[in-house]
Amino acid sequence: MLRATLKSLLARKVRLLLSGLAVVLGVMFVAGSFVLTDTLSRSFDSIFSDAYSQTDVTVAGKPKVEVSELDGESVPAPVPASAVDTVAALPGVAQARGMVAADGATLIGSNGKAVGSFGPPQLGENWLGENALTQLREGRGPTADDEIVINKGLAEAGKVAVGDRVGVLTLDAKQRTFTIVGTFGYSGDRDSLGGVNEIAFTDPVAQQLMLGRTGLFTSIDVKGTDGTDPATLKERVAAALGADYNVRTGEEAAADDAQGLKDGLGFFNNILLGFAGIALFVGIFLIINTFSIVVAQRTRELALLRAVGASRRQVIGSVLTEAVVIGVVASVIGTAAGIGVGALLANLAARFADGLSLAGIGVPPVALIASFAVGLIVTIVAAVTPALRASRIPPIAAMQDVATPDRPLTKITTLGAIVSAAAGALLGIGLYADGGLMLVAGGVLLAFVGVALLTPVLSRPVVGLLGRLFSWSVPGKLGRLNSGRNPRRTAITAAALMVGIALVTGVGVIASSAKTSIAGSIDSMDAQLIIQGTQTGPRPPTFDPTVVERAKAVPGVRDAVGVASDLAKVDGEQQFVTSVTDAAVIPAIYGSTAVAGDITRQGPDQAIVNAETATERGWAVGSVLTVQLTRGEEHRYTVSGIAPTDKSIGEIMLPAAAMADFAQPTLSLGFVRLDEGTPVASVQPQVEALVADNPLVSVIDQATFTQQQSDMLDQVLVMIQILLALAILIAVLGIVNTLALSVMERTRELGLLRAIGLGRAATMRMITVEAVVISVFGALLGVVVGGGLGAAVVRALRDQGFTDLTLPWSTIGIYLAVAALVGCVAAILPSIRAARLNVLGAIAHE
């Protein structure tokens, strides 16, 4: 029996190739994500162990606010110079040096533009001289306060050289000019450590610019005397300094720091796996269809097996065995391809982040396990229904053509309605009752299954209607009839395409609604100019609070306000907080009124919170909040007003004085209100002049601001579209597959059509019409389902500022047009095959 199964599988390998291909692509995605993230993660490991290779023990202040990895990095409390002396005096310490290294130093390149980095920090630090790791490439270390050395990678990126005078932006938000006296690199001829940009100053300059005042360090770098165990040294240092310090061995520090990046990579990996999941979900549709069609085509063969004594279970076993074989083969190929793709992407990433030397491509066991598990499970799950159907073929079918009457669609439709209703319930709870993302995702998945089950019923009228567009010619009419003659087959094929299209449409609806909502809220703001930085690194660029004060003095300006933001610990929980130079201006700009209390005034110990945060955390006017900022001591604020959520600046607005204790005590956003009737163009240049020394900060009008926001959303949208492309590609394979199998099934019929005079071109047109009808049907379903899902999400987020529901009609139109095109492309191979049929052979075809 097994032998019969395997032989029959081999004989039909081409037919099953495409369904296997869907699994291959999905598994490739899974394996590729794991290999990519694992390789990068181990590469980062080596960077951090390199960075700490010269360190036995490192000492840093405990951060006042522990920031979760996804929100950024905790800023440790600075270490006073006295602590360095204490450590240096300990026995077993050969050398203890105070280090300054903080993110936020930006070089202005020779073209006057800031040199950005995507991801790796831009460190401003003190120059500690050369060692086995750090090596000067040119020049010397800085000795005067206006001298710096920079790493070679940064020098190349900014096209600057030793001897140049260059501008540097640091945390104090003012551009200063320095002379480059040297460049440095790292052992192994690396121009940077993993793409990090570094600017090294003399100690006092580094302290002043990066930590706010002299006499402070970020950490102490301790080197033990020969033969001193780092662990022992760590104990000794910790005992000497007390509980306020975080003392770690170099190894521990490297592992800790790497962990942060690994968590980020893990998150990234989960996103990739999510998209792989979608692709595989679509793959299931394809496999179900292939197996169903193959089972239908093998009716006589399977009936014979039943007639000569095979039990139902044996028939099910035989179909599932096929699934297992396909699953295994596809998993092997997919995993191999995934390792290749992962390695390729890791190499690209390494090239992009100059200086990241890859740790060698790694295939973690979890990649293999996940790939095979996913490949097998997907194939087997998809084969269950066709296997059951195969087992229901009566043995009598071996003797006569059992007329397979159109099985009624009542059962499948009822099931579809139930599943859809369940999906609606899940979505409702997830979206409106704050049931969480998992419920929403589950609801979306169920919705797809439900709609897929309803698709056969829908396919008759819709396909009929769509087909009318082509019915003007005989081949067109035949194609239309063909696409309608097996509603289940058409439905599954279309449903596979629906999933991908629905997701891109849904995201598109959310994005376009977000855009109009943002545009609307910006439009309604009474602030004609916005001062804002272009983010080029991990931290947003900032500007000095005096800019706002000076802007107020510009003729024609009625008012100006600046906003700084940071992460703080509020009542023990991490929370975004803002500090505003003048709280009274905010309601004036938004035209908002208080939900409770007073939001037009703010005393020195008062906080204004937005309505959503207040509800979430149970705060009311009069509640006392204990706030720990990045610097300084805990402070208590009393809630004095509650602002409407969509017309407030941040979750908790603290008074202007709090800004001094922020990680960056400078402004990241500013609003300028003009006197009524003052043309924007007349004021803009004068405000621009105020931030002219900072190329990262610009003054823009409302239209530009709106454009920037929507550009950002567009970028996200494009990323999602790219990641969903695989799911759509698999759906296209599904169309090819269905058509190819249908052509094979209708060999005799095609032969007849050709025999009675249907030309080759007409035959191809007939197949193409069928493909286009299926693909457009799938896209239509996707657009409707996706539009519905997107609209539901937008409505649910109304309180969060999604005031408008906008459907991206032009994008939807493009999706439909692309679907039609995709149908044509999918029809190419099957239609060529159909046209090439030998007429005589086809008619005699058994």
Partner 1 sequence: MTASDPVAARADDVWKVYGSGEAEVIALRGVSVTFQRGVFTAIMGPSGSGKSTLMHCLAGLDSVTRGEVRIGETTVTGLGDAGLTRLRRDKVGFIFQQFNLLPTLSAKENILLPLAIAGRKPDDAWFDTVIRTVGLQDRLEHRPAQLSGGQQQRVACARALVARPEVIFADEPTGNLDSRSGADVLGFLRDSVRQHGQTIVMVTHDPVAASYADRVIFLADGAVVDELHDPSPDMVLDRMKKLDAPAEVER
Yes or no: say if 420 and 450 are a contact pair by the CB < 8 Å rule: yes
User: Which residues are 80's β-sheet partners?
Assistant: 216
Contact 217, 81 (CB under 8 A): yes
Other Cβ atoms closer than 10 A to 442: 17
Q: Which is nearer to partner 1, 312 or 760 (CB)?
A: 312
267: nearest Cα among 30, 37, 537, 35: 37
The least distance separating partner 1 from the CB of residue 475, rounded to whole angstroms, comes to 32
Pick one of 238, 255, 307, 332: the residue that binds partner 1 (CB under 8 A): 307
Is residue 263 a contact residue for partner 1 (CB under 8 A)? no
Quick one: which segment of 304-312, 346-354, 562-570, 812-820 binds partner 1 (CB under 8 A)?
304-312
DSSP letter at 114 equals B
User: Which CA distances in Å does 44 have to 6, 263, 661?
Assistant: 46, 12, 32
Shortest reach from residue 301's CB to partner 1, in Å: 6
**Nearest distance from C-beta of residue 304 to partner 1, angstroms:** 5
Q: Which of 115, 180, 305, 454 is the binder for partner 1 (CB under 8 A)? A: 305
Strands (DSSP E) found in 650-772? 652-654, 669-674, 697-701
Taking the least distance from each CB to partner 1, the nearer of 314 and 721 is 314
Our CB check for partner 1 shows the closer of 396 and 425 to be 396
Between 11 and 243, name the residue whose CB sits nearer to partner 1. 11
Least Cβ distance, residue 748 to partner 1 (angstroms): 15
Nearer to partner 1, 16 or 209 (CB): 16
Nearest to 132 by CA among 217, 201, 51, 18: 51
Burial 357-374 (b: 16+ CB within 10 A, else e): bbbebbbeeebbebbbeb
Q: Nearer Cβ to partner 1, position 814 or 840?
A: 840
By C-beta, is 303 or 495 nearer to partner 1? 303
Among residues 15, 97, 236, 306, the one that binds partner 1 under rule CB under 8 A: 306
Q: Residues 389-408 vs partner 1: string with x where CB under 8 A?
A: -----xxx-xxx--------
Q: Is 316 in the site for partner 1 (CB under 8 A)?
A: no
* Closer CB to partner 1, 120 or 317, in the complex: 317
Q: Report the residue number, 13 or 411, with the smaller CB distance to partner 1.
A: 13
Please state the closest distance from residue 3 (CB atom) to partner 1, in A.
7
| Pick 314 or 704: Cβ nearer partner 1 | 314
Q: Site for partner 1 (CB under 8 A): which residue of 113, 137, 174, 300?
A: 300
487-524 and 809-836 helices cross at what angle (nearest 10)?
160
Cα gap 30→120, rounded to integer Å: 26
Binding segment toward partner 1, per CB under 8 A, in 261-269, 297-305, 330-338, 373-381 = 297-305
Q: Quick check: 425 binds partner 1 (CB under 8 A)?
A: no
Task: Please report where in the chains the tokens 């800023």 appear, as a residue.
Answer: 75
Closest distance of CB 314 from partner 1, Å? 6
308-337 in b/e form (b: 16+ CB < 10 A) is eebeeebbbbbbbbbbebbbebbbebbbeb
The Cα 705–Cα 683 span in angstroms is 17
110, 311, 385, 682: which one contacts partner 1 (CB under 8 A)?
A: 311
Nearer to partner 1, 307 or 807 (CB): 307
DSSP letter for 117, please.
-
Which residues touch 241 (CB under 8 Å, ≥6 apart)?
A: 59, 83, 86, 87, 247
Residues 6+ apart with CB under 8 A from 245: 59, 60, 61, 62, 79, 83, 238
For residue 115, CA distances in Å to 199, 209, 269 come to: 12, 18, 28
The C-alpha atoms of residue 512 and residue 505 are separated, in whole angstroms, by: 10
* Closest CB 477 distance from partner 1, rounded Å: 31
Residues 1-40 that bind partner 1 (CB under 8 A): 1, 3-4, 7-8, 10-11
Q: One symbol per residue from 763 to 782: x for binding partner 1 (CB under 8 A), - otherwise; what is it?
A: --------------------
Q: Which is nearer to partner 1, 208 or 391 (CB)?
A: 391
8 Å CB contact between 116 and 148: no
Which member of 16, 310, 496, 735 binds partner 1 (CB under 8 A)? 310
Q: How many residues bind partner 1 (CB under 8 A)?
A: 25
Q: Which of 308, 437, 681, 756 binds partner 1 (CB under 8 A)?
A: 308
End-to-end CA distance of the chain: 24
| For partner 1, the closer CB: 2 or 722 | 2
Tell me how far apart the alpha carbons of residues 290 and 818 are, in angstroms, rounded to a whole number. 24
CB of 292 to partner 1, least distance (A): 20
139 dihedral zone (left: phi>0; alpha: psi -120 to 50; beta): left
Cβ nearer to partner 1, comparing 2 with 821 = 2
Q: Which residues of 35-52 are buried (b: 16+ CB within 10 A; e: fewer)?
A: bbbbbbbbbbbbbbbbbb
The conformation of residue 89, written as its DSSP 8-state character, comes to: T
Tell me how far CA of residue 102 lies from CA of 542, 630, 785, in angstroms: 15, 14, 48
Within 10 Å of residue 523's Cβ, how many Cβ atoms?
A: 10
Helix or strand (DSSP H, E) at 108: strand 106-108
Q: Which of 304, 332, 361, 417 binds partner 1 (CB under 8 A)?
A: 304
By residue count, the chain amounts to 846
Identified binder of partner 1 from the candidate list 54, 299, 314, 707, rule CB under 8 A: 314
- The reply to whether 690 sits near partner 1 by the rule CB under 8 A is no
List 91, 112, 242, 309, residue binding partner 1 (CB under 8 A) = 309
Residue 219's φ and ψ, nearest 5 degrees, are -155, 170
Name the one range near partner 1 by CB under 8 A: 31-39, 309-317, 559-567, 577-585: 309-317
Residue 298 or 539: the one with the smaller Cβ distance to partner 1 is: 298
Please report how close the Cβ of residue 379 comes to partner 1 at its closest, in angstroms. 21
Chain contacts with partner 1 (rule: CB under 8 A): 1, 3-4, 7-8, 10-11, 300-301, 304-312, 314, 394-396, 398-400
